[in-house]
Chains A and B, each alone.
Chain A
Amino acid sequence: MVGGRGFGARLLRLYLPLAFFLVAMLFPFYWMFITSIKPNRELYNARIMPLIVHQPTLKHYVDLLTQTNFLTWTYNTMLVAVVTTAVSLVLGTMIGYPLARMRFPGAAVVAIGVAATYLVPQPLLFIPMADIINRLELGNTLTAVMLTYPTLLIPFCAWLLMGYFKSVPRELEEAARIDGASRFQAMTRVVLPLCTPGLLSAGIFAFTLAQNEFLYALIFLAKSNVRTVPVGAITELIRGDVFYWGQLMAAALLGSVPVAIIYSFFVEHYVAGLTAGAVKS
């Protein structure tokens, strides 16, 4: 964008800062990976050069998969993320659609309410929520997190989708209505298909948010067989003062893989979801 003055300028303005950012952002992941394949005698020897592995081993992965409930945690995490994403997408659409395209009494109040629930963070709610879940006798069930995650995801989905819903020209909907489509059909057959990118963005973003959730899972899931990956890793791979570093890193890496894969397939949609709140469409 700015006229360059040869390689020197480009080095200073592009390559050096780029290298800095890449190293700074990715080093922890490299560290995670390398620690997960180091044998304990290398891990706990401060005299060995730590940046490379001398004798790589898969022992930590084998231990993680055979001696802990890691696979169960992964299953729980995926199940909860998929269910809550689906629920939030449907309810988010049902909230966002009328707010974006209809005129009706009470619209302003609902819009403000949704914005408020989007911005009011979970930390204000977790203590009363813990008591409510207790009274409903839902402690140590996945239902507890399936009920609470959508409180974070629905306002987000509704907010994000409203922008997409608004962008569909009214004429298209009116044409369908003249051809005899009901309001509901105009929504499902005309507007929603045109908003597929928005639905994808909201879905992917919600999915990563659900995978990232920790506070509710930590409070509600105290039994090993119902835990999610982040809670299981932090509570069961650290016992008292003993940190199972190799297994911790293996769990962190394997736990990040599903999100990273989905992200890699839908980078553009994820970025669109990320920036939709900030950049006017």
Chain B
Amino acid sequence: MSVRPAPLARPAPVAGRPLSLRGLLEREGAFSWIMLAPGVLFLLAFVAYPFFYGIYLSLQDRPVARAGVFVGLANFATLLGEGVFWQVTRNTFVYTLVTTVLKLVGGLAMALVINQSFRARNLVRAVLLLPFIVPTILSTIAWMWIFDPTFSVINWALVKTCLVSTGFSWLGNATLAMVSIIVVNTWRGIPFYGITLLAGLQTISPDLYEAAAIDGASATQRFWHVTLPIIKPILIIVTMFSVIFTFADFQIVYALTHGGPANATQVFVTYAFDLGMSGGQLGMGAAAALTLLPALALVIVVLALYLRRE
């Protein structure tokens, strides 16, 4: 029997590599996009879509469980016309600015303290970060009791040391309620600044300090002219992250004061929550949440540009 070669059992190979999955996965572009697809699709569905859907909602009069009516910018006009909105804006800025300054100064101080050598240093550093890792709502519950009108331990201490004759109503007084949420936010945030800035301090070579000391620089001068310039990039990034998250804070204010008394501690997110969730006005709530965006976008763009430059 003569063996003839089978006449073209396989189709002629297409120019380039065969289009098998394996071959495809060897191409950089295809591999990248196959890897990216699930995550990117997820983020498109659950971040990008809600974001734009939120803009769409903000242009509607939309009570929960009813169809919306397009109202243009009426929701924003209503918000801007209300005194409460401007109070909320002021509250949010005060809250963010004051806590940021306190956290920055306190965190830098903490970093400088725990950067020295002492016994059980690692344990101390680990323990100091606890306020930041414990779920915020749970630690705020402890603070609720610390600020209790009748049984506040702060009041007890103030009265015992004869600084005041009767205790304060921490969460019932407009100014003190703002002080209270600022205290708790600062308490939770200082370790974040402290530990990240510590990482920055650890990158500074001791030789620099020695050189500065030999040149006759005092401790204060060394701080301003050696320490600070080196940790400046970290300082800026940490601060901006913290600003973004403080500006959009919800948990501490919601748990401690619910925005009260009489909106004295109402911030953007609790306000949007009240309108959209408690009040059931999704359109108004979405509009209120979006008013966060301009200020936030500014910080985000600055941060993104800065990170890029780094």
Using CB atoms and an 8 Å cutoff, list the residues of chain A in contact with chain B: 1-3, 13-14, 17-18, 21-22, 24-26, 28-29, 31-32, 35, 43-44, 46, 50-51, 91-92, 94-95, 97-99, 102-107, 110, 112-117, 119-132, 134, 147-148, 150-151, 154-155, 158, 182-184, 208, 211-212, 214-215, 218-219, 229-231, 233-234, 243, 245, 248-249, 251-253, 255-256, 259-260, 263-264, 267, 270-271, 274-275, 277-280
- Interface segment, B6-14, B20-28, B93-101, B171-179? B20-28
10 A-B pairs closest in CB distance: A98-B32, A230-B137, A128-B54, A121-B248, A91-B39, A275-B199, A252-B138, A104-B32, A104-B29, A32-B142
Q: In the complex, which residues 190-237 of chain B have their Cβ closer than 8 Å to any Cβ of chain A?
A: 190-192, 194-196, 199-200, 203, 206, 209, 213, 219, 222, 234, 237
**B86 contacts the other chain (CB 8 A):** no
Count of A-B contacts with CB under 8 A? 290
* CB < 8 Å neighbour of A21 from B110, B286, B304: B110
B234–A14 contact, CB under 8 A? no
CA distance in complex: A245, B135 (Å): 18
A131 touches B282 (CB 8 A): yes
Q: Is B70 an interface residue (CB 8 A)?
A: no
Report B-chain residues with C-beta under 8 Å of the C-beta of A14: 113, 116, 118
Residues of A with C-beta under 8 A to B72:
none
- On chain A, the residues within 8 Å of B158 by CB distance are none
B156 engages A256 (CB within 8 Å): no
Known: A256-B135, A270-B133. A102 touches B43 (CB 8 A): no
Set of chain A residues within 8 Å of B126, measured between Cβ atoms: 263-264, 267
B residues near A (Cβ < 8 Å) are 22, 25-26, 28-29, 31-33, 35-36, 38-40, 42-43, 46-51, 53-54, 57, 64-65, 109-110, 113-116, 118, 122, 124-131, 133-139, 141-146, 148, 150-151, 153, 156, 187, 190-192, 194-196, 199-200, 203, 206, 209, 213, 219, 222, 234, 237-238, 241, 244-245, 248, 250-251, 254-255, 268-269, 272-273, 276-277, 282, 285-286, 289-290, 292-293, 296, 300, 303-304, 307, 310
Within the complex, which residue of A46, A94, A119, A158 is in contact with B151, where a contact is CB–CB below 8 Å? A46
Which residues of chain B come closer than 8 Å to A105, judged between CB atoms?
A: 29
Q: A154 contacts B39, CB within 8 Å?
A: yes
A230 CA to B141 CA in the complex, in Å? 10
Q: Which residues of A sit under 8 angstroms from B124, Cβ to Cβ?
A: 18, 22
15 inter-chain pairs at a CB distance below 8 angstroms, sorted by A residue, are A13-B116, A25-B131, A94-B35, A115-B307, A116-B300, A124-B54, A124-B289, A183-B31, A211-B135, A234-B255, A260-B134, A267-B126, A275-B199, A277-B241, A279-B234
Contact residues in A for B31 (Cβ distance below 8 Å): 98, 102, 183-184
Instruction: Kindly list chain A residues whose C-beta atoms are within 8 Å of the C-beta of B43.
Output: 113-114, 117, 151, 154-155
Main secondary structure of the interface of A (DSSP, over half): helix
Q: Which of A50, A127, A260 contacts B133 (CB 8 A)?
A: A260
CA distance A259 to B134 in the complex (A): 7
Q: A2 to B32, alpha carbons, bound, how many Å?
A: 50
Contact B25 A184 (CB under 8 A): yes
Q: Which residues of A contact B46 (CB under 8 A)?
A: 129, 147-148, 150-151
Which B residues touch A271, using CB under 8 A? 125, 129, 195, 199
**Pair A31/B153 contact, Cβ less than 8 Å:** yes
Q: Which residue of B lies closest to A270 (CB)?
A: B133
Q: Report which residue of B110, B137, B296 has the largest number of chain A beta carbons within 10 angstroms of its beta carbon.
A: B137
Q: How far is the CA of A260 from the CA of B126 in the complex (A)?
A: 10
Extra pairs beyond A28-B143, A127-B282, A271-B199 (14, CB < 8 Å): A17-B109, A51-B153, A92-B39, A127-B277, A134-B65, A147-B46, A151-B46, A230-B136, A253-B138, A267-B129, A270-B129, A274-B196, A275-B199, A277-B237
